[in-house]
C-alpha cells in the first residue's frame, strides 16, 4: 500500500513538473552582416572564433537557418515571428527625414520582448535596433524595458547626418557613438543588464554594430592584429573581369572583416563567462546568430542582398538572394535540453524563434497570435518532427536599386524571380534565376530557361507561384 502511494505521488509530481512552463533566460546575440562561411565552427580554418566554436560544441548548430538578406527586415522577422512583408518593412530603413516619421515597425506589433513580458520577463535591447528612428518606433514601445546604444531621432530635431543622432549609453546621451571602444562598451552594458537581472527571467537582445562594413573603423587594434600579414584565402577574382579590385586589396578587406568577427567573438566570450560566473549557464537559452550574411569577393561582390561589385565607382548593385546572403550562422545552446555538439540541416528561419520561446515559456497563451514561424523545440530536443522540405521568402529591394525578389529554396534547387516595380520580369543580371545547388553550391551558373532543366523549372515555378498567391495577397504573378 505504502509503495503504491509513493508511486502515485511521484507520478503526480512528474505531471506537474512537465506541465509547468520553464522560464529560462533568453539571450540572442545578433551580429551584423556576418556570413556563415566566416565562423570556425562552420568550417573556416583561418578565422579565430573560439567562443562561437565553444557554443557550437555545447549546443546545436543549424546549417540552413534563413534570415532576410538585409538589416531591417531581418530584425523585424526575428522579433515578430512574421515574414517582414507582413509588417511593411521590405528593405533596410535608410536614415534621414522625413523617413523618421513614417518608416518603422507598426505600433502595437507583438515582439519577443512584449510577448515574454506577459509571463514576467524583463527585456533589454543593447546596440542596433534599425526598426525605425522616430519616437513612435523606440524599442520601449515594443516591450523592451531597457534600450541602449542605438541612434534615435529626437522629436522636432533634424539630423543632416546619421552620426549626429544621439544614443543613450549608461544613462548618458552620446552623439556619434562610433569608436574603437564601441563594441566593448556595448558588451559592458549587456553584462550589466545580466548582472542586474540575474534573479529573475530576462531576455537580452544584444546587437553589436560589428561586423557591418560601415563599422570596420571601430574594430579594436587587438582584433586586427590577429590577422596582420596573414595570407588569408580569398575568392579568385581573376574569374571576374568586372571586379575593380586586385587580390591584395581584397585580402586587406578580408583581414578587417575577420578582425571585426573576432571582436564580436571576444564579446561573446565575455558574456558566456559571466553566465558561468553567475551560475546562469544551465538556465539560459543562448542563441548566436547574424541578421544576414555577406559576400566578400564571391562573384566579385561585396555586401549582402544589396551587394555591389567590388571597387566599382559609382556602385553597381546586384540584388540577390544567394545562400551567402540569406543563410546565417545560427547556434542554440540550452544545456540539458539541446544535445551538445549536434548539427541540424533542417530549413529553419529566424522567424521560428518567437514561436519556440512561446512553446518553452507558455508566453502568448490566449493572445491569439498568428505567426509565420514554427517552434523548433522538437528539433532542439532531437525529436522526430514533420518539418519544412522547402523555404520561401521575399526581398523587395527598393533603395539603391530596385528588384522585387521571390525565392524558393529546396534541398537541391534555388529559384528566384526578379520583378520590376510593375511586376514584369527583369532582364540582364536581374533576370530570373535557377541554380542547381547540388552541382553548383556557389550559385555561379544561372540555369533559368535552359532546356535541360525545363521540367524542374516548371515544377518549381508552380510551387513558388502557389506560395506567392497564398502569402502575398496582391502580388506579382
Ligand atoms: Ca545587417
Alpha helix (H) ranges present in 237-370?
A: 247-277, 323-326, 353-361
**Ligand 1 geometric centre to CA of 91 (Å):** 11
Task: Please report, in angstroms and rounded to a whole number, the separation of the first and last CA atoms in the chain.
Answer: 71
Residue with cell 595570407: 231
**Ligand 1 geometric centre to CA of 235 (Å):** 22
**Ligand 1 geometric centre to CA of 290 (Å):** 8
**Ligand 1 geometric centre to CA of 212 (Å):** 6
**Cα 416 off chain centre by:** 20
**Ligand 1 geometric centre to CA of 71 (Å):** 4
**Ligand 1 geometric centre to CA of 301 (Å):** 16
pLDDT digits (tens, 9 = 90+) for 114-150: 999 999 999 999 999 999 998 999 999 999 999 999 9
Q: Count Cβ atoms within 10 A of the Cβ of residue 15 and give its class: 0-12 exposed, 13-18 middle, 19 or more buried.
A: exposed
**Ligand 1 geometric centre to CA of 291 (Å):** 5
Contact 448, 434 (CB under 8 A): yes
- Predicted pLDDT of residue 273: 98
Helix (H, G, I), strand (E, B) or coil at 157: coil
pLDDT digits (tens, 9 = 90+) for 3-13: 333 333 333 33
The C-alpha cell that represents 267 in the structure block: 564579446
Helix (H, G, I), strand (E, B) or coil at 6: helix
**Ligand 1 geometric centre to CA of 457 (Å):** 31
Alpha helix (H) ranges present in 1-64?
A: 2-19, 50-58
Q: In terms of Cα–Cα distance, which of 355, 397, 344, 357 is closest to 65?
A: 344
Q: In terms of Cα–Cα distance, which of 334, 336, 329 is closest to 350?
A: 329
Residues with CB under 5 A from ligand 1 (ion): 32-33, 71, 291-292
Helices and strands (H and E) in the chain: how many? 12, 18
- Predicted pLDDT of residue 44: 98
- Predicted pLDDT of residue 20: 58
The C-alpha cell that represents 294 in the structure block: 555577406
Contact 37, 324 (CB under 8 A): yes
- Predicted pLDDT of residue 294: 98
**Ligand 1 geometric centre to CA of 373 (Å):** 20
**Ligand 1 geometric centre to CA of 278 (Å):** 31
* Helix or strand run (H / E) with residue 468: helix 454-471
**Ligand 1 geometric centre to CA of 293 (Å):** 7
**Ligand 1 geometric centre to CA of 325 (Å):** 10
The C-alpha cell that represents 118 in the structure block: 506577459
For residue 390, the tally of other CB atoms under 10 A from its CB is: 14
pTM (2 d.p.): 0.94
Question: Each residue's pLDDT tens digit in the chain (477 positions)?
Answer: 333 333 333 333 333 334 456 899 999 999 999 999 999 999 999 999 999 999 999 999 999 999 999 999 999 999 999 999 999 999 999 887 666 778 999 999 999 999 999 999 999 999 999 999 989 999 999 999 999 999 998 877 777 777 788 999 999 999 989 999 999 999 999 999 999 999 999 999 999 999 999 999 999 999 999 999 999 999 999 999 999 999 999 999 999 999 999 999 999 999 999 999 999 999 999 999 999 999 999 999 999 999 999 999 999 999 999 999 999 999 999 999 999 999 999 999 999 999 999 999 999 988 889 999 999 999 999 998 899 999 999 999 999 999 999 999 999 999 999 999 999 999 999 999 999 999 999 999 999 999 999 999 999 999 999 999 888 755 554
To 5 degrees, how large is the angle CA 238–CA 242–CA 243?
65
Residue with cell 577574382: 237
Backbone angles phi, psi at 125, to 5 degrees: -105, 120
Domains of the chain with bracketed CATH = 25-388 (3.40.720.10), 402-471 (3.30.1120.10)
**Ligand 1 geometric centre to CA of 12 (Å):** 48
**Cα 59 off chain centre by:** 18
Helix (H, G, I), strand (E, B) or coil at 309: strand
**Ligand 1 geometric centre to CA of 224 (Å):** 21
Amino acid at each position: 500500500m505504502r509503495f503504491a502511494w509513493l508511486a502515485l505521488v511521484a507520478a503526480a509530481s512528474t505531471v506537474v513538473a512537465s506541465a509547468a512552463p520553464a522560464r529560462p533566460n533568453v539571450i540572442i546575440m545578433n551580429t551584423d552582416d556576418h556570413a556563415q562561411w566566416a565562423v570556425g565552427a562552420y568550417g573556416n580554418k583561418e578565422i579565430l572564433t573560439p567562443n562561437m566554436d565553444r557554443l557550437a560544441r555545447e549546443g546545436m548548430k543549424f546549417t540552413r537557418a534563413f534570415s532576410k538578406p538585409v538589416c531591417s527586415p531581418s530584425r523585424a522577422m526575428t522579433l515578430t515571428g512574421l515574414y517582414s512583408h507582413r509588417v511593411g518593412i521590405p528593405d533596410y530603413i535608410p536614415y534621414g527625414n522625413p523617413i523618421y516619421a513614417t518608416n518603422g515597425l507598426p505600433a502595437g506589433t507583438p515582439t519577443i520582448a512584449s510577448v515574454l513580458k506577459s509571463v514576467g520577463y524583463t527585456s533589454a535591447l543593447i546596440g542596433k535596433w534599425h526598426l525605425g528612428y522616430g519616437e513612435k518606433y523606440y524599442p520601449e514601445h515594443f516591450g523592451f524595458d531597457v534600450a541602449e546604444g542605438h541612434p534615435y531621432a529626437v522629436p522636432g530635431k533634424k539630423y543632416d547626418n546619421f552620426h549626429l543622432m544621439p544614443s543613450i549609453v549608461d544613462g548618458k546621451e552620446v552623439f556619434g557613438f562610433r569608436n574603437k571602444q564601441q563594441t566593448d562598451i556595448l558588451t559592458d552594458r549587456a553584462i550589466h543588464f545580466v548582472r542586474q537581472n540575474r534573479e529573475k527571467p530576462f531576455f537580452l537582445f544584444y546587437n553589436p554594430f560589428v561586423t557591418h562594413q560601415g563599422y570596420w573603423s571601430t574594430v579594436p587594434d587587438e582584433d586586427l592584429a590577429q590577422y596582420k600579414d596573414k595570407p588569408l584565402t580569398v575568392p579568385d577574382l581573376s574569374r571576374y573581369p568586372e571586379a575593380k579590385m586586385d587580390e591584395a586589396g581584397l585580402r586587406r578587406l578580408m583581414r578587417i572583416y575577420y578582425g571585426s568577427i573576432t571582436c564580436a567573438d571576444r564579446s561573446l566570450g565575455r558574456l558566456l563567462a559571466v553566465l558561468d560566473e553567475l551560475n546562469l549557464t544551465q538556465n539560459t537559452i543562448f542563441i548566436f546568430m547574424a541578421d544576414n550574411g555577406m559576400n566578400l569577393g564571391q562573384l566579385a561582390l561585396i555586401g549582402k542582398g544589396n551587394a555591389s561589385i567590388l571597387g566599382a565607382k559609382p556602385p553597381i548593385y546586384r540584388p540577390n538572394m544567394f545562400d551567402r546572403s540569406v543563410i546565417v550562422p545560427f547556434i542554440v545552446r540550452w544545456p540539458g535540453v539541446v544535445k551538445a555538439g549536434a548539427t541540424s540541416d533542417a530549413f529553419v528561419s529566424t522567424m521560428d524563434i518567437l514561436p519556440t520561446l512561446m512553446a518553452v515559456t507558455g508566453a502568448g497563451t490566449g493572445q491569439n497570435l498568428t505567426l509565420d514561424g514554427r517552434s523548433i523545440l522538437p528539433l532542439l530536443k532531437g525529436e522526430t518532427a514533420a518539418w519544412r522540405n522547402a523555404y520561401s521568402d521575399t526581398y523587395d529591394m527598393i533603395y539603391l536599386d530596385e528588384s522585387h525578389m521571390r525565392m524558393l529554396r529546396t534541398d537541391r534547387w534555388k529559384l528566384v524571380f526578379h520583378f520590376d516595380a510593375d511586376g514584369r520580369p527583369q532582364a540582364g543580371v536581374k533576370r530570373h534565376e535557377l541554380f542547381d545547388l547540388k552541382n553548383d553550391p556557389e550559385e555561379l551558373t544561372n540555369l533559368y530557361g535552359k532546356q535541360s532543366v525545363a521540367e524542374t523549372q516548371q515544377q518549381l515555378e508552380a510551387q513558388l507561384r502557389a506560395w506567392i498567391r497564398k502569402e502575398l495577397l496582391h502580388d506579382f504573378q
